[in-house]
A and B are shown apart, each in its own frame.
Chain A
Amino acid sequence: MIKINTPVDEEKIRSLKVGDEVLISGSIVTARDRAHKYMVEERPDDIRGDLENSIIYHCGPVMKKHDDGTWEVVAAGPTTSIREEIYQADVMEEYKVRGVIGKGGMGPKTLAGLAKTGAVYLHAIGGASQVLARTVVSVPRVYKLEEFGVPESFWVFTVKDFPAVVTMDSHGGSLHDKILATAEEEFRSIVDSL
């Protein structure tokens, strides 16, 4: 297990390789479909401080607001990342993001973006919303809650030992490409035998 503490520098991120298992601590920021569209189209500045040298989490959590105004994470696993493929590389470059946590992997544009910016794609276990919510220590801030709603807002989470696996690195490596190629080859041999 490799410990990653945010803010994290480019050198540390570039040292990571596909297959490395990491535990993330520090501040991470949720952003999914609307948030990515918004970041690319409107380039908001208020979130810059939270994103620089930090990690984006593709997640739409279930949240509970306490009477004192603080937030508790009820459930928070990753959502499918590939929907952000058209935005991700630009978002990482613009906001100097060092990593993206999600599920399912991403495509060639993001892979090229990881190499250019110096960032990694971190795969968390989809559906494991309780195991992952347990790692959230506090929720210091939220952006765009009124407009985007609970699942699509930018939630800033302080996490301790959030587990993930590097499945795309800054050296062009992608576990997803490898698994897909093997599956396609096996598929051809199965259907040819029918």
Chain B
Amino acid sequence: MIAGVDRDGLAESLVELIRRTTSKLPDDVIKRLKEYRTKEEPGKMACRTLDTIMENVDMAQSASRPICQDTGTVTFDIQHPLGARQSEIREIVKEAVVAATAKNYLRPNVVDSLTGEIKSDNIGVGHPVIHFEQWDNDYLEVTLVLKGGGCENVGAQYTLPQPALKAGRDINGVKKVVLDMVVKAQGKGCAPGVLGIAIGGDRAEGYAIAKKQLKRKLDDINPNPVLAELEGWVVEQANRLGVGPMGFGGKTTLFGAKATTLDRIPASYFVSISYMCWAYRRRTMTIRNGEVQHD
């Protein structure tokens, strides 16, 4: 038993988490996309593209089908109470992924990097990605993020200083490289998107923590005023670039940015950026005393 549910109960609730994540965008994402839709001129490509996106969101939800065919890297963040066995949870998560793939909630999406062999059940070396954290609460919380390859490929990691961009080791330097990444991405990551930004750390932790920012709700407010200002600045300036939905041109290039810092060693100053597409698939479930709750 884990948080009061048995093995089958946990597997079943995880399949439901995958169904919800692949087919239903979170409310904060829908709300923000609708807000930006009103900023685009009616009749223009940007506006009609956002309309098609919303139509697609509705269709996926009502049919319980994938919003995007690239169901992406399947990443579970699992926080569990003391006493839960991670090896057991890992097996149950894999079972759920196999079942969800059979139901077409997930595309067979895992390929052996050397041989090209397709793992048609989505179980492979390092996939699904499962991060465990044992916490002091008495309940289990699982957040699932499905992140497609288009947006993953446009993410970037910079080292400061960057002479070509006149970007030094300060907050202005950070702003310059983040905006440079948005210019380079154009529409390729399925704009409009959201950035997860990590300042500092090493290469591996930088990317990991940048991605973790994508778990935050779009309407939260960063408690650090410098980072809050950075988040607002990035969205506002990115939306002056004219890239627009899908790179067709328009006012909506980003609809969110979330930043954090890690301490660094003197020689390194990394800025790591993870780009999430508009098909921002993120869902959480909690299990407490055997009761499953989906967000």
Q: Which residues of B contact A149 (CB under 8 A)?
A: 108, 111, 118, 120
- Assuming the contacts A80-B149, A187-B183, asked whether A123 and B59 have C-beta atoms less than 8 A apart, the reply is no
Whether A79 and B65, one on each chain, are in contact in the complex, defined by CB atoms closer than 8 angstroms, is no
In the assembly, what is the distance between CA of A194 and CA of B172, in Å?
7
Cβ of B164 to closest chain A Cβ, rounded Å: 11
Q: Which residues of B contact A61 (CB under 8 A)?
A: 69, 107
The interface centre, meaning the residue of A130, A150, A180 with most chain B CB atoms within 10 A of its CB, is: A130
> B150 in the interface, Cβ–Cβ < 8 Å?
yes
Q: How large is the interface on A (under 10, 10 to 19, 20 to 34, 35 or more residues)?
A: 35 or more
Whether A128 and B53, one on each chain, are in contact in the complex, defined by CB atoms closer than 8 angstroms, is yes
Contact of B60 among A129, A167, A194 (CB under 8 A): A129
In the assembly, what is the distance between CA of A60 and CA of B71, in Å?
10
> B203 in the interface, Cβ–Cβ < 8 Å?
no
> B68 in the interface, Cβ–Cβ < 8 Å?
yes
Q: Which residues of A contact B59 (CB under 8 A)?
A: 130-131, 134
Contact of A180 among B70, B165, B186, B244 (CB under 8 A): B186
- Assuming the contacts A127-B53, A194-B175, asked whether A79 and B246 have C-beta atoms less than 8 A apart, the reply is no
Q: Taking CB as reference atom, which chain B residue is nearest A184?
A: B183
Q: Which residues of B contact A77 (CB under 8 A)?
A: 68-70
> A173 in the interface, Cβ–Cβ < 8 Å?
no
Whether B70 and A186, one on each chain, are in contact in the complex, defined by CB atoms closer than 8 angstroms, is no
Q: Mark B69-89, 1 if CB is under 8 A from A, else 0.
A: 111000000000000000000
In the assembly, what is the distance between CA of A125 and CA of B68, in Å?
11
Cβ of B119 to closest chain A Cβ, rounded Å: 9
Whether A186 and B190, one on each chain, are in contact in the complex, defined by CB atoms closer than 8 angstroms, is no
Whether B183 and A103, one on each chain, are in contact in the complex, defined by CB atoms closer than 8 angstroms, is no
Whether A127 and B278, one on each chain, are in contact in the complex, defined by CB atoms closer than 8 angstroms, is yes
Cβ of A140 to closest chain B Cβ, rounded Å: 20
Q: Which residues of A contact B53 (CB under 8 A)?
A: 125, 127-128
- Assuming the contacts A104-B187, A126-B277, A131-B56, asked whether A186 and B65 have C-beta atoms less than 8 A apart, the reply is no
Whether A103 and B186, one on each chain, are in contact in the complex, defined by CB atoms closer than 8 angstroms, is no
Residues 138 to 194 of chain A near chain B (Cβ within 8 Å) = 148-152, 163, 165, 167, 175-176, 179-180, 182-184, 186-187, 190-191, 194
Q: Which residues of A contact B176 (CB under 8 A)?
A: 191, 194
In the assembly, what is the distance between CA of A44 and CA of B72, in Å?
30
In the assembly, what is the distance between CA of A190 and CA of B149, in Å?
29
Contact of B279 among A60, A127, A131, A152 (CB under 8 A): A127
The interface centre, meaning the residue of A62, A175, A180, A194 with most chain B CB atoms within 10 A of its CB, is: A62
A-side interface mostly: mixed
The interface centre, meaning the residue of B69, B104, B118 with most chain A CB atoms within 10 A of its CB, is: B69
Q: Which residues of B contact A126 (CB under 8 A)?
A: 68, 150, 187, 190, 246, 277
Q: Which residues of B contact A34 (CB under 8 A)?
A: 116
> A82 in the interface, Cβ–Cβ < 8 Å?
yes
Q: Which residues of A contact B217 (CB under 8 A)?
A: none
Q: Which residues of A contact B264 (CB under 8 A)?
A: none
> B63 in the interface, Cβ–Cβ < 8 Å?
yes
Residues 33 to 82 of chain A near chain B (Cβ within 8 Å) = 34, 59-62, 64, 74-77, 79-80, 82
Q: Which residues of B contact A123 (CB under 8 A)?
A: 246, 248
Cβ of A65 to closest chain B Cβ, rounded Å: 10
Q: Mark B249-279, 1 if CB is under 8 A from A, else 0.
A: 1000000000000000000000000000111
Q: Which residues of B contact A176 (CB under 8 A)?
A: 186-187, 247
Q: Which residues of A contact B118 (CB under 8 A)?
A: 148-150, 152
Whether B248 and A75, one on each chain, are in contact in the complex, defined by CB atoms closer than 8 angstroms, is no
> A113 in the interface, Cβ–Cβ < 8 Å?
no
> B6 in the interface, Cβ–Cβ < 8 Å?
no
Q: Mark A77-104, 1 if CB is under 8 A from B, else 0.
A: 1011010000000000000000000011
- Assuming the contacts A125-B53, A128-B53, A194-B175, asked whether A75 and B69 have C-beta atoms less than 8 A apart, the reply is yes
Task: Apart from A80-B153, A176-B187, A180-B183, list 12 A-B contacts with CB within 8 A.
Answer: A60-B69, A62-B66, A64-B104, A127-B190, A129-B66, A129-B67, A131-B56, A149-B111, A150-B118, A176-B186, A190-B179, A194-B172
For the complex of A and B, the 4 pairs showing the least CB-CB separation, nearest first, are A149-B118, A104-B188, A130-B59, A75-B69
21 residue pairs of the A-B complex, CB under 8 angstroms, read: A60-B69, A62-B69, A77-B68, A79-B150, A103-B150, A103-B187, A104-B188, A105-B187, A105-B247, A126-B150, A127-B148, A128-B56, A129-B56, A129-B60, A129-B69, A131-B52, A149-B111, A176-B187, A179-B187, A186-B240, A194-B176
